[in-house]
Structure 1
Amino acid sequence: MSTPAPVRADPRAILRGDLPDQYLTPDDIAVMFKVPKETVYQWHKKRTGPPGFRIGKHLRYDPADVGAYVTQRKTADQDAA
């Protein structure tokens, strides 16, 4: 009688553990904030908008980081008032 082979987890399932379902694109950010896509690229260049990162030549945003950025901006506006 042979022992069964160990069950291997799907590597993609392991990756999904700490990652969002889908990263956001500059188009997504532009729609969310109702600004032109060029504004999103300028924010990234000047480091003034939500933090993004590059995957090769593609700019992406983690939804959790975008949410934290919005919360931070709302808090800063309330403190200034």
Structure 2
Amino acid sequence: MNETTTQTAPSFLTQHDLSELLRLPERTLEDWRLTPAGPPFLNLGRHARYELADVLRWVGDQRHG
């Protein structure tokens, strides 16, 4: 079995998907993309996509106390 068939493809979220996951307005995500405040994202053409693993890591980094 070759290595590429055993790897799991990353899960990408749309802005709407992430908005629902984090229970935040889509406008907040748009604002975060203009500053380095939010989770990492990819620009695929004109579309922003968020890799689920990156988002979960970013959420964990936001913990305080």
Q: Report the TM-score range of the alignment, normalised by the length of the smaller protein.
A: 0.7 to 0.9
**CA RMSD, aligned part only?**
2.1
- The higher radius of gyration belongs to 1
Name the TM-score, length of structure 2 as normaliser: 0.82
Task: Extract unaligned runs of 5+ from structure 1.
Answer: 1-8
Higher-helix-fraction structure = 1
Identify the structure with bigger relative contact order (alpha carbons < 8 Å, sequence gap 6+).
Answer: 2
Superposition deviation, residue 19 in structure 1: 3.0
Name the TM-score, length of structure 1 as normaliser: 0.68
User: What CA distance in whole angstroms lies between the structure 2 residues aligned with 1:54 and 1:23?
Assistant: 11
Runs of 4+ in structure 1 over 3 Å off: none
Task: Extract unaligned runs of 5+ from structure 2.
Answer: none
Gap change, CA 1:18 and 1:33, over 3 Å in 2: same
Corresponding residue for 1:17?
A: 7
- Spell out the pairing of 1:36-47 with structure 2 (5 A cutoff): 36-47=25-36
Q: Which amino acid aligns with 2:13?
A: L
1:63 to 26, 36, 52: 52
Give a deviation string over 1:1-34, Cα, whole Å, max 9, x none: xxxxxxxx7xxxx3882531x3011101111121
Aligned residue-pair number: 64
